[in-house]
Structures are given as structure tokens and as C-alpha cells.
Structure 1
Amino acid sequence: MATDSSSSSSGSSVVVVVPLPAQGHTPALIHLSRKLAAEGFSIVIVNVESVHRKIAARWKCSPQLDIRLESIPFTSLIGEQGLEIKCIISDFHAVWTTPVAQKLGVPQVCFWSGSAAWALIDRHVPLLVDLEYIPVPGCSLRGEKMISFIPGMDPFPALDLPYYLQEFSKVPVWSLVAKSQRFNNDKWFIANTFEALEPRETQAMKQLLGEQNFLAIGPLLPLDQEGLEQVVSLEEEELGCLEWLDSRPEGSVLYISFGSLAVLTQEQFMELALGVESSGISFLWVIRPAFLPQGDLPTMEFFQGFRDRMVAEKRSIIVPWTPQKRVLSHASIGAFLTHCGWNSIVESVWSGVPMLGWPCHSDQNLNLRLPVESKGIGARVACSSRRMEVVHRERVRAVVRKAIEDGGEMRGAVRELRDLAVAAVVEGGSSNRDMATFVERLRSL
């Protein structure tokens, strides 16, 4: 078992933290681990070997914090002299920790990495299945069917259900229903959201699970530049883009990123590229190698020509990965074209940057509706919510120009929400109070 530690946890009771091994889930739990270590807890962060190696290679942490990095399997920790596991905090989707917690006889705390609205929907998956709002194999989803019985949420069409609930060929019903049992079985739920972002939804979850059993402790982000530089990424970051941003006027750059998993079709990639190019707006675009259709020669030839034109014009750059939190906090960023992953939304709100939503998978379509559109902090790029609809270059060009050149209303709304996010995490704020409650209850174990 590979090990890397900031200090020794031997001889003390430890909190085991298990992220889902994905870029959109791991960093927030690492930041939570640092906050708990600052409260005096001994933390062991456990990952699969491949992710463990990446984190260990880039690890930056004060030696005063008792945080240790381990790789699976972590049950052998029990055999170490004097080591006692206080509890396990695991990502909701890391379902393999439940039998381990049961075997050890220790409480399990669920970390919810998404929105409270998404939690409400997942909490009601068994009912959605029973009432046939979620299709069974062989049936198609009737997108016009309205869902009106989920507390804390206005009626919404079934097309706004998270994408994975609409794709039963990929996710079997039994696994979704089984996973939802964590709402009933885990000791507490802690979520990377904050009350002002989702007031009705967080209150509804508190009413369902108990006022002190659902704790909204977000945004789980560093508060200062030094903290931003300590953020751990699972991908190699291109830091040169920060120097390029320094050369651009304030609010003039469109930042484009579809996260670590999304891919576009050949047609859609070309339409998007030609749309942003013809807009005349400077952009910083994250294009991972896997973002493009692999082995597709016409796409690769188009991409090479597109990239060469951007290099020649010197008004835009393309990189494989960025330090996203530092990019979004840069003064030159005027808008963020995003896949609407929850981390990206929280980071954009924290930085006061309006969003152009282009959801691709998972909960991202829900995130675009709540809170991006509902709060007026961004706009939808596509003309409708239908997933497979191709967004043409003319639409892309118009939406991008409006956001950068005439997006004052969205900027004002997101900056107001940014102030509320800051207020939530400082002393007396809603997330600060929920975090204090969690720390107090963790000490009582």
C-alpha cells in the first residue's frame, strides 16, 4: 500500500476520507480534509492507486496538518498499532465504502458533491421509478411529463431530470435505487453548496433528513491566492495561460472548458469552434486530447487548422488543462462557457463570472436550469433543452458576443451571489454554522 503523509497518524483516532476518483469530485474533499485537519482531526485520504500517485506527486500541504495519503485497500490500516478509525467520509457515489463501514462498525458520513436540487431528486428515485416518471428498459422518456411532487422544487419537465436517469441502457434501475439508500443509512449528509444559492432546496433536504443531518458547508474552496496555489489537480496544468491572461484587457476573454469527461461529435466541435472564432472574442479554451473524436482524421485536420489560425492571430489560446480556479479569478475573464459541472458552477459563482451553459452528461442539465438560469447568472447556449440538438455557429457567435459585450445584467447577478457565497463561509454565515455543527458532532463520536 502506497503511503505519503504530512505527519504521522499513528496512535490516534483517524477520519478516513474516500473521494470518488474523478476530477470533479476529489478536490472538494481534499479541501474539506484540510479544514478538518485544521480543527485538529487526523485525516487519512484514500484513493485508487492511479489517483493516489497523481495527488502524491502534486501534494502541497502545511506540515502542521495531520493529513496522510493512502491507496486502496485501506482496511489494512486497522492492523497498524494504535490506529483507530473514528468514521468514514465518502463521496455518495463511492458505494464500496458502505460494507467496509458496516464491517468495521464505524459511522459513515456521505459527502454530496453536487447541488441540493440534485440530492432531492436522487432522494426520490424509488418514487420516480414506482410512478414511472423514470423509464424502465424498453420505454422512452416522455419529456413533456411534469414532475410536481418533489419538495422544495417547482414543477419541472422530465427532460430536466439528470441525464443519467434518462439512460437506463447505461445505468440499471436497481443500482440507482440501491444507491439512494444512503439517504436513509448514512449518519450525516454534508454538501458542497450553500443556502443562498439554493435556499428552498437546502431547507427541503434539512426537513427530509433532519435539520442537523443535512449540512450545507460549501463552497469548499480556498479563500485566498495562497490557497488557490495549493489546489490539487488530477491533470497536469498549463500555467503559461495565466501569463497570457495578464496581457488581455479586463473582462475581455471567454473561458471555455467542458471538464474532464465530456466529448463532442465532429459536427458539434466544428460548429462550436467556428462560432467562437467568428465572434471576434478572445478565448482561452481547454481542449483535452480525449475531447475530440479519436481516430477521426477530418476532425484532427480541422482542429490543426483551427489551432494554427489562433496561434497566427495571437488573440486566443488552446491548452490541454488549466488551473481553473486561478483562471476564473483572473480579471480578464468575462464569461465562462461551461458544461455545467457542479464544481465549475460553484467556482464561477465564487469568482463572480457569468456562465454560458452547455450541459453534456450526468446532472449538468439540471445545474443549468437550477441555479444558472433561475438565478440569472448565465444563459443557455442551445436553443432548447434537448440533448442531441446541434448548436450551430451562428447561435454560438451571438451568445458569446452578448455575454462579453452586453452581459452586464448577468455579471451583476453573479457578483451579488459571489458576495453571498463569501458571507456564507465567514464567521456567522450559514455554511460556517453548518461546518461548526459537523465538527462538533464529529468530535462527539
Structure 2
Amino acid sequence: METKKPCLNVVMVPWLAHGHVSPYLELAKRLADRNFRIYLCSTPINLSSIKKRVTQKYSQSIKLIEFHIPSQPDLPPHFHTTNGLPLHLKSVLKRAMDKASPSFTQIIKTLKPDILIYDFNQEWASVAATTIGIPANYNNIFPIGIPLFSRTCDIIFMKTFGELEGKYIEYGSNLLGKKIVPTGPLAQEHGDSEDNSEIMEWLNKKEASSTVFVSFGTESFLSREEIEEVAKGLELSMVNFIWVLRFSFEEEEKISIEEALPNGFLERVGDRGLVVEKWAPQARILMHPNVGGFVSHCGWGSIMEAMTFGIPIVAIPMNLDQPVNARLVEEIGVGLEINRDENGGLSGEEIAEFIREVIVGDEDEKKIRDNTREMKHKIKSKGEEDMDCVVEDLYKLHKKNIHEKNMD
């Protein structure tokens, strides 16, 4: 008879961005379903954005732990997140986070977890844990093609799956001399998103696979010229759309949606389009049967969600890992990448063409829709295999740590 495995206590500390905090929460839920107790540490403003997603089911197994970083005159508490953070303060936030190491050390001394899972930019968290005998694991939410570096971790968890990056996982493990374990896509589960009745009521009235969702994430902002070309593309495509339009902190108080869009755009598209300011429930929208395409900046989390729900991508990468991700989207046949001109500009005509291709394209474009459905099927059929491997490795690491302590 198999002995029941003990409940392990895990402290998680993601980087201060919604695109990191959200998948950490999804990882926390999947571990909580397997008899782990999770303490998810972040700043109060970041925790407030995910509080509602810790439902009654997880109220005892997932605890949100406030992690305070030093406030400064130019970095008040509402800037203790990268969401809406002015560009010139990003390095300030990183330095402030580094200075918070002593308070984090006190947290893990109090909680006495069995394992720490930490994010990039936070090597100090790993050092703090290992000095008091807690094994640390690096959870990287980026694709395997992005350089990894973490000296003190035991295992590197990757938000990906073997069918997508199998050979790179093996290559990366050999290169780094550390085991890389895929976690699966960590997309939000059905019914896990906050509701937005206006958007969902509008979407429910459209035909199946007739609508394209347009979003560039929480930290990428279109220039005025880019907004104009995206708007032109949506107008020319004659396809239904939901467009989440965000402005940088410096601009959001100076400009309205109406002022940012081309003159008369909202009137011309009428009920065919819905422009939403700042935020929309992305996972809930992408899983809706009336959505058939996704115009995306190709943040890794967005790509994982699109593939999980079988939605083809029109890629307009902005920065960071996004150009690499966009190339991957095209290489594996689940989307098309918009070309930029020599000055980095976009073409509204090409955006319109690509949107129509993924939504109502002919036989060649049908391959993209078939590929996305096949990818969705692979992810679904694999189920929780990746997470089962994550759990097994965590138990092995815990057992190894106990053995080494006993040897001492």
C-alpha cells in the first residue's frame, strides 16, 4: 500500500508584474490540488489584483502574504508593481525590491517552508532561503529561448510544454547543468476570470468564431501612429473585435479613448467593435466560442493562453521576448506575424489582411486554424502530466534535503 505523501509548505515569490503573479497563482492552485500549502508573497497592490481568484476552494491551502518593499518619495505603494509603472521608475523598483531582502528573510524564518519557488530578478530570495536550509527552485515564466541564469537553484521550472519546446528543454538542461521541468501552460481555468457583464453580453450576440480579441498586455503601449494603424486594420477587416486599449501612466490622465482613436472610428465600426479601456478578462474572452482570433503583442502568457484555447494569433510584438515568441508562433503554424517597415511602423492594410486570413481565410489559412485546434487537443489530452512531474520533483527535492540535514 502506497504511503500518503506529506503536505509540503511552499513559499512563492514572483516578480512584481501581473504577467508573473498570475501564472504563479495558477501554479499555486495546481499544487494546492495535490496537497501542498502555498504562501504567495507579493506587494499589497499586486495581491489585490488576484485576491478574488483565490476562491473558497483554495482559502485554506493558498495564503497571500504581503511583502513590503521600502517606499520612497518617487516610489509610493501604488507603484510597487510594474503595472502602470512609468518607465523611468523601473530601475528604482528593482533596487527597492533588492533592499527588501531582510524583510523577506524574516517572512521565510517565520513560515519555515519546505521549499521556495522564486522568480527572475530575485536571486536574493534564493540566497536567503538556502542560508537557512530551504531548497530553492527557479520558476521562469519565459520561453526556453530566453537566457536563464540562477546560481543557487536546484530545479528550473518552465511555463511551457514538451510538445512545443522538447529539444530546447533538453539542450537547456545540459547547458545549465540544472534540471528543467515544464509546468504546462498555466492558463487560467474555466470560470476563473473575473466577470465583465458588458463585454460578455456583447460577445454572446456574435456568431461562432467571428470575433478577434486585440490586446497588447499590461506593460506594452502603442504609440499614436500604431493606434491609428491598428484601428485602420480593424476597420478595414470588417471583422467583429474587442480591443483593450491601454495608455502609459504618463498619458492616461491626458487623453481619452475617443481622442486617441481616429476621428469617427467608433461611429464607423458601430456595434461591430467594442473598445475597452485598461483591462478585460482575457482568458474568459479567449475561451469564448465566438472568438476566432487574437491580435497580440506575444507575451509568453498570452501565447500559452491562446494555444490552450485553440485561438490563432496575429502577432504584433513590441519588446523584450516578444519578437522571439512571434517567430515561434509563425514557425509552429499557429499564427502570422505582422511585418514592420524600416522605421518600425505598422500597416493597417496588412493588419486587416492577416485578421481576415485567420478568421475567414481560404484553404492555406485553414491550416493555421487546424494547427491551433491540434495544439489545443495536445494540451488537453496531456492533461496534468507536466504538473505530476513537477510534484514528483518537489517531493524528491524535499526528501533529498531531509536526508542531507540528517547526515549533518
Give the Cα separation in 2 of the matches to 1:379 and 1:415.
16
Tell me the equivalent position of 1:56: 51
- What is the TM-score normalised by the length of structure 2? 0.79
Alignment of structure 1 residues 34-183 onto 2, 5 Å: 34-56=29-51, 59-63=54-58, 65-72=60-67, 73-77=103-107, 80=110, 83-118=111-146, 122-123=147-148, 180=149, 182=150
Shift, 1:432, TM fit: 4.3
Alignment of structure 1 residues 310-349 onto 2, 5 Å: 313-320=270-277, 321-349=279-307
1:369 and 2:327 correspond: yes
SS in 2 for 1:270: helix
1:290 to 238, 248, 261: 248
Is contact 2:221–2:247 with CA below 8 Å preserved after alignment?
no
Give the Cα separation in 2 of the matches to 1:101 and 1:306.
57
Structure 2: 5+ residue stretches without partners:
1-6, 68-102, 402-408
1:230 and 2:192 correspond: yes
Is contact 2:227–2:261 with CA below 8 Å preserved after alignment?
no
Tell me the equivalent position of 2:74: none
Give the Cα separation in 2 of the matches to 1:295 and 1:52.
24
1:215 to 181, 189, 192: 181
Tell me the equivalent position of 2:171: 204
1:111-154 CA distance string (max 9 Å, x none): 01011122xxx14xxxxxxxxxxxxxxxxxxxxxxxxxxxxxxx
Aligned length: 355
Tell me the equivalent position of 1:280: 238
Shift, 1:396, TM fit: 1.7
Tell me the equivalent position of 2:212: 254
Please tell me the residue identity of whatever aligns with 2:392.
T
Shift, 1:433, TM fit: 4.8
1:9-28 CA distance string (max 9 Å, x none): xxx96311011121211111
Tell me the equivalent position of 1:402: 357
Give the Cα separation in 2 of the matches to 1:221 and 1:86.
26
Shift, 1:192, TM fit: 0.8
Distance 1:41 1:301, change over 3 A: closer
Distance 1:110 1:50, change over 3 A: same
SS in 2 for 1:44: strand
Is contact 1:268–1:390 with CA below 8 Å preserved after alignment?
yes
SS in 2 for 1:85: coil
SS in 2 for 1:62: helix
Shift, 1:318, TM fit: 1.1
Give the Cα separation in 2 of the matches to 1:337 and 1:65.
38
SS in 2 for 1:197: helix
Give the Cα separation in 2 of the matches to 1:189 and 1:34.
19
Give the Cα separation in 1 of the matches to 2:327 and 2:373.
19
- What is the TM-score normalised by the length of structure 1? 0.73
SS in 1 for 2:304: helix
Shift, 1:439, TM fit: 3.6
Tell me the equivalent position of 1:22: 17
SS in 1 for 2:114: strand
SS in 2 for 1:359: coil
Tell me the equivalent position of 1:171: none
Give the Cα separation in 2 of the matches to 1:336 and 1:264.
16
Greater displacement, 187-196 / 433-442: 433-442
Please tell me the residue identity of whatever aligns with 1:404.
I
Please tell me the residue identity of whatever aligns with 2:191.
E
Structure 1: 5+ residue stretches without partners:
1-11, 124-179
SS in 2 for 1:117: coil
Give the Cα separation in 2 of the matches to 1:354 and 1:303.
26
Is contact 2:296–2:317 with CA below 8 Å preserved after alignment?
yes
